[in-house]
Amino acid sequence: MGDPALSRRGFLAASAAAGLSMTALSACGGDSDGGSSGTTTIEWWNISTTQPTKDVWAGLAKQFEAQNPDVKIKIVQLENDAYKSKMTALTASGKLPDIFHTWGGGVLKQQIDAGLVEDLTDRTKEWADGLLPVAREPYLFDDKAYGIPFDIGMIGFWYNKALFKQAGISTPPTTWSGFLDAVRKLKSAGITPLALAGKEKWPGMYYWAYLAMRTAGIDALQKASDDKDFTGEGLVQAGQHLQDLVDLQPFQKGFLGAAYSSPTGQAATVGNGKAAMELMGQWAPVVEADMGKGLGTNLGFFPFPEVEGGQGALTEVFGGGGGHALRAGAPQAAVDFLKFFASAATDTELVKKTGVLPVVPAAESALTDPNLKAVQTQLKAATGFQLYLDQAYAPAVGQEVNDSVAALIAGSKSPQQVTESITKVAKEEQ
Amino acid sequence: MTSTFLPDKRSGPDVGLPSPAADTGRGRARRRALHWLTAVGFQVPALVLFGALVLLPMLFALYASFFRWGGFGMPEDYVGGDNFTRLFEDPVFLGDLWRCLVLVLLSLALQLPFALALAVALNQRIRGRAVYRMLFFAPYILSEAITGVLFGMIFAPDDGLADHALGAIGLDGVGGQWFADPSTVMATLFLVMTWKYFGFHMMLYLAGLQSIPAELTEAALIDGAGPWQRFRHVTLPLLAPTLRISVFLSVIGSIQLFDLVWVTTAGGPDHHSETMAVTLFQHGFKRYQVGYASAISVAMFAISLVFALAYQRFVLRRDLEGATTTLRGGGS
């Protein structure tokens, strides 16, 4: 009587074991097998799962294979979040794919510290030095390059020229007090100055991060994270400047419950002309037109204003992009592919077809959209760079920044308390 | 019946065919052991699945709750009860407990009586009652996520259907910011919860009402009982078992509330609608503080368990009497 049950249990155990070993096997997927006939197979892990990028990238891989008959490229595409968790698991296991997507910053630093990432400084020097400097920033550690960018962007104010005119504002503000004046003018003209997605928290964080850069200086945010101490005078002042803005009640009605990209969210509010500005990345015009009507030629861009008496400059940017890194000991073919991917011809195609900003100066002519051109001008003139905090910081710290700044905007935390909460979480994370 | 049909046959050929006289002592013990083995044999697959998919993860969550752990590799950084100390100092979690209590009390005080009133009304002979029953039950069938998206649009400040409808009947400005205001978000959330779940409780009550024999109500009627007296002294006592189950489900549902909140407000503004499950998700999957998130899950489990056991022990005792699912062996 017991036998069938036993064998069923045996079957279950066997299938469980099979399942586990399959997971284990797939976790080893980063291996590159040098083929027997002298062909090298390179695995290329990326997150371009949406069209048209997916096809463009596959086409580029084919093109590279045609130019290098002894190299095969195996593309592994994962959706953003799946990719992040898979890479965390691979980092723990100690083996990364030959070529992999990276945002640079803290995560890449962890992988470098674990000895898993190839130092590309010398192997790419001859051609990588010509790339847009600000785009290379996220992948530089101690002046060594660990990644090659293919995209770069930044946060800034997107504004409605018609509404500015209506409120009597002739030129976009360049100082924080000028900005607050503009907000007051818009308000007295009956126009909602700013749209904000309070439900999602990260758009609010942009204000605090930029104010911290402008007040405490370009290195303050990274230094605070390294020292696990965010309570410095400059960061508290940043919160106070944000408080000054919040006190003017500049946001749309119900902003605390608003999403970013929904038919009633932040992007739609600006896109439909119901608010004059939003602080957002280079993707803002697309989302505004997608979720709302879009502003067309009425849309303008200006960099985050300077804070009077602060350490930062108008030309320092807060942003990020995308790049590729190689696993330690990756074959030469992988380096060749990075070179191919950062060539003027490839970048021109990427700019034209997938809407990224150029990282190769020669590809700039492919950029036609006036808004993206304005962003590009800022990026080219950049004198300093701070990576998006959720990529620069550990996840818990990044989330706490979002959360505390949201509380400041909602009026339940003081600038001082914001810095204390973030410090507490940073210390817990060790 | 002859001895050839006795269950002995199942013992296998080696036992042979014992006479009824031999059916004592060792033979009986052996047969009992075989019965037991059979029972266990049939349960093994289910137990293995239950163990691997329910019990083990639960025990692992308990284990992980004593570590500072990012969720990858094995937990190594043992911190003792730190996660739990932190839990009961965390204003967000303490707020979660308070909000949970508020939702439970509101449900018991408003949502369930409303469902009961509707059930009683729809138990009368009225035209089209099947249509009404279906209509009221429909929200329950809709997924939580869809409900959330829908009401997110309806309660959008100014542009939403709710504000337009209030404006159309001359109540401009009565509608506020709904989900967007810390002081109204819980009320709005409760409104949506009620819309979503009252139909389910109404159906339970309807089923309970229909099992009440009409003779009892008729007898009360003949004895001169008015409508309220009939409801109070006949319907309500006989509906009590259903009510007790419905309260139980409602409370457990409030403790574990997640989907609706996540989609409509994600716990905001500023944590004012956050529930335990939302806090758990935030820490586990946004901050990768899986050890701390496990501590939250253990706390949630403990609260649910204590409530469930206490409720069964003190409230459901009579309803469970003689039920096959009680643990009290034969029952009496």
- pLDDT, one tens digit per residue, over A42-57 is 999 998 887 788 889 9
Q: B193 and B290: one domain?
A: yes
Q: Quote the CA–CA distance of A334 and A365 in Å, as a whole number.
A: 28
Kindly tell me if the per-residue pLDDT of A21 is higher than 70. Answer: no
Q: What is the mean pLDDT of residues A380-386?
A: 92
Q: B52 and B96: one domain?
A: no
A199/B266 CB distance under 8 A: yes
In which band, very low, low, confident or very high, does the pLDDT at B54 lie, cut at 50, 70 and 90? very high
Interface of B with A (CB under 8 A): 34, 37-38, 40-42, 44-45, 48-49, 52, 68, 72-73, 152-153, 156-160, 177-182, 185, 265-266, 268-271, 282, 286-289
Q: B45 and B137: one domain?
A: no
Domain count, chain B: 2
Does residue B70 fall inside a structural domain?
A: no
A253/B268 CB distance under 8 A: no
Residue B19's CB: how many other CB atoms inside 10 A? 9
**Closest residue in chain A to residue B49, using alpha carbons only:** A12
In which band, very low, low, confident or very high, does the pLDDT at A33 lie, cut at 50, 70 and 90? very low
Say which DSSP state B53 is in. Answer: I
Kindly tell me if the per-residue pLDDT of A25 is higher than 50. Answer: no
User: B285: burial class by Cβ within 10 Å (0-12, 13-18, 19+)?
Assistant: middle
Kindly tell me if the per-residue pLDDT of B163 is higher than 60. Answer: yes
pLDDT digits (tens, 9 = 90+) for A62-119: 999 999 999 999 999 988 878 887 888 888 788 899 999 999 988 888 889 888 999 9
B177/A254 CB distance under 8 A: yes
Q: Quote the CA–CA distance of B38 and B33 in Å, as a whole number.
A: 9
Kindly tell me if the per-residue pLDDT of B103 is higher than 70. Answer: yes
Q: B149 and B294: one domain?
A: yes
Per-residue model confidence (pLDDT) at position A29: 40
Predicted-complex ipTM score? 0.78
Q: Quote the CA–CA distance of A84 and A391 in Å, as a whole number.
A: 11
Question: Closest approach of chain A CAs to the CA of B302, in angstroms?
Answer: 26
Kindly tell me if the per-residue pLDDT of B1 is higher than 80. Answer: no
B177/A407 CB distance under 8 A: no
Per-residue model confidence (pLDDT) at position B23: 55
> Strand, helix or coil at A13?
helix
Does residue B191 fall inside a structural domain?
A: yes
**What are the distances in angstroms from CA B329 to CA B38, B70, B323, B324?**
19, 44, 10, 9
Does residue B331 fall inside a structural domain?
A: no
CA torsion angle A285 A291 A293 A297 (round to 10): 0
Q: B42 and B177: one domain?
A: no
Q: B44 and B172: one domain?
A: no
> Strand, helix or coil at A90?
helix
Q: Quote the CA–CA distance of A221 and B307 in Å, as a whole number.
A: 46
A18-22, A349-353, A407-411, B314-318: which is most confident: A407-411
Per-residue model confidence (pLDDT) at position B323: 52
Among B38, B64, B90, residue at a domain's last position: B64
Q: B27 and B176: one domain?
A: no
B322 — phi, psi (to 5°)?
Answer: 75, 0
pLDDT digits (tens, 9 = 90+) for A151-194: 999 999 999 999 999 999 999 999 999 999 999 999 999 999 99
Closest Cβ–Cβ partner in A6, A201, A255 for B180? A255
Per-residue model confidence (pLDDT) at position B125: 85
Place of tokens 């009320």: B187
Q: Which of A84, A403, A414 to mutate to test the interface with B (most CBs of B within 10 A)?
A: A403
Whether the link from the prior residue into A250 is cis, omega within 30° of 0, is: no
Q: Which residues of A376-398 are buried (b: 16+ CB within 10 A; e: fewer)?
A: bebbeebebbbbbbbbbbbbbbb
pLDDT digits (tens, 9 = 90+) for A264-280: 899 999 999 999 999 99
Closest Cβ–Cβ partner in A12, A256, A428 for B268? A256
Per-residue model confidence (pLDDT) at position A37: 57
Which chain A residues have a beta carbon less than 8 Å from that of B265? 199, 257
Q: Which of A321-325, A416-420, B8-12, B88-92 has the lowest mean pLDDT?
A: B8-12
Does residue B46 fall inside a structural domain?
A: yes
Per-residue model confidence (pLDDT) at position A334: 93
Higher pLDDT, A176 or B287: A176
A253/B158 CB distance under 8 A: yes
Adjacent-strand bridge partners of A325: A100
Kindly tell me if the per-residue pLDDT of A28 is higher than 50. Answer: no
Does residue B8 fall inside a structural domain?
A: yes
Q: B142 and B181: one domain?
A: yes
What proportion of chain A, given as a percentage, has pLDDT over 70? Answer: 91
Per-residue model confidence (pLDDT) at position A12: 42
Kindly tell me if the per-residue pLDDT of B19 is higher than 80. Answer: no
Question: Closest approach of chain A CAs to the CA of B299, in angstroms?
Answer: 21
Q: B196 and B243: one domain?
A: yes
**Where do the domains of chain A lie?**
34-154+320-376, 156-318+387-429
Does residue B202 fall inside a structural domain?
A: yes
Superfamily for A34-154+320-376? Periplasmic binding protein-like II (3.40.190.10)
A198/B269 CB distance under 8 A: yes
Instruction: Concatenate the DSSP letters of all residues of B80-130 into one string.
Output: TTHHHHHHTT-HHHHHHHHHHHHHHHHIIIIIHHHHHHHHHHHTS--TTHH
In which band, very low, low, confident or very high, does the pLDDT at B315 lie, cut at 50, 70 and 90? confident
Per-residue model confidence (pLDDT) at position A346: 92
Q: B19 and B144: one domain?
A: no
Per-residue model confidence (pLDDT) at position B128: 87
Pairing of strands A277-280, A99-102: unpaired
Q: What is the mean pLDDT of residues B111-135?
A: 91
Place of tokens 């349960």: B43
Q: B43 and B119: one domain?
A: no
In which band, very low, low, confident or very high, does the pLDDT at B322 lie, cut at 50, 70 and 90? low
Domain of residue B53 covers 3-64
Per-residue model confidence (pLDDT) at position A14: 43
A253/B44 CB distance under 8 A: no
Closest Cβ–Cβ partner in B37, B72, B152 for A1? B37
In which band, very low, low, confident or very high, does the pLDDT at A263 lie, cut at 50, 70 and 90? confident
Which chain B residues have a beta carbon less than 8 Å from that of A293? none
Interface of A with B (CB under 8 A): 1-2, 4-6, 8-9, 12-13, 16, 88-89, 92, 198-201, 253-259, 262-264, 395-396, 399-400, 406-407, 410, 412, 428
A5/B156 CB distance under 8 A: no
B72/A4 CB distance under 8 A: no
Q: Which of A228-242, B17-31, B192-206 has the lowest mean pLDDT?
A: B17-31
Distance in angstroms between the alpha carbons of the first and the last residue of chain B: 32
Q: B56 and B162: one domain?
A: no
Adjacent-strand bridge partners of A149: A323
B286/A258 CB distance under 8 A: no
**Closest residue in chain B to residue A4, using alpha carbons only:** B41
Class at the top of the CATH hierarchy for domain A156-318+387-429: alpha beta
